[in-house]
Amino acid sequence: MTNALSILFCLTLMYLAVTTRLSSYVLILVFEGILVAGVYTVSFFEHFSATHLVIAGAVLLFRTILIPSYMVKIIRDLDMGHRDRTHRYHPGFLLQISGLIMVALLLSYQFSHMTPVLVIPLGTALAGIFSGGLLIVRRRLLLAHVVGFLIIENGLFLLGVGLKAEMPWVIELGAFLDLFVLVFLMGIAMNHLKSHFPEGAGEDLTTLRD
């Protein structure tokens, strides 16, 4: 079951690679949020507890409702509607992502020899983390960076599952990051972007350098 969901997660990553619409990014986020919550619940099914339920709920709340809606709002505010195509679209991106996924799965397979892990979820998690990073590196819109950041978080979540780390309050803390992202990265920063950068809002910032 977890494996199936993980595979789906990988597929979302593939889609991430081919699309360039901010709106479709948001869709991906929603879908991934559901997947992650699902994997989480399933993986702890046998010894299920209230905390797990709470966490799963929180994740669903943040990742499928709050953040996406907020993102849509921002897209409207900064009217990125008419130029929601991130620049320098590049077919190689798909190859890179899929390569990443291969490598990640391979790694986690190798890893499974050293220590007991769930191969597929672990691989997916690694793939998520690295492709999130890759997204940040490859896309110039700040919002895309946030998306990448959230994808890394999803990967982190899966990681906890894949490594079978039944530690109280470790992965769960990840939820805090959502709050953080919500409040700061988007709340403060994005809102001020408009006032400071009348045109080209949301492009990445590169004035401070040596």
CB-based burial label for 187 (10 Å; 0-12, 13-18, 19+): middle
Residue 148 Cα distances to 25, 29, 45, 153, 166, angstroms? 9, 10, 29, 9, 26
From the list 16, 203, 210, the residue with the least C-alpha distance to 128 is 16
For 74-145, list the strands marked E by DSSP. none
Asked whether position 89 contacts another protein by CB under 8 A, the answer is no
Tokens of 130: 């690295």
d(CA 41, CA 38): 5
Binding-site member from 196, 198, 199, 200 for another protein (CB under 8 A): 196
Asked whether position 209 contacts another protein by CB under 8 A, the answer is yes
Give, as ranges, the residues between 125 and 184 that touch another protein (CB under 8 A).
Answer: 129-130, 133, 136-140, 142, 145, 149, 152-153, 156, 159-160, 163, 165, 167, 169-171, 173-174, 176-177, 180-181, 184
Give, as ranges, the residues between 12 and 51 that touch another protein (CB under 8 A).
Answer: none
From the centroid of its chain, how far is CA 178?
11
Shorter beta-carbon distance to another protein: residue 82 or 88? 88
Asked whether position 193 contacts another protein by CB under 8 A, the answer is yes
The one-character DSSP state at 170 is S
Asked whether position 115 contacts another protein by CB under 8 A, the answer is yes
Residue type at 37 in one-letter notation:
A
Asked whether position 199 contacts another protein by CB under 8 A, the answer is no
Asked if residues 174 and 150 have their Cβ atoms less than 8 Å apart, the reply is no
CB of 152 to another protein, least distance (A): 6
Asked whether position 97 contacts another protein by CB under 8 A, the answer is no
Residue numbers at the binding site for another protein (CB under 8 A): 114-115, 129-130, 133, 136-140, 142, 145, 149, 152-153, 156, 159-160, 163, 165, 167, 169-171, 173-174, 176-177, 180-181, 184-185, 188-189, 192-193, 196-197, 204-210
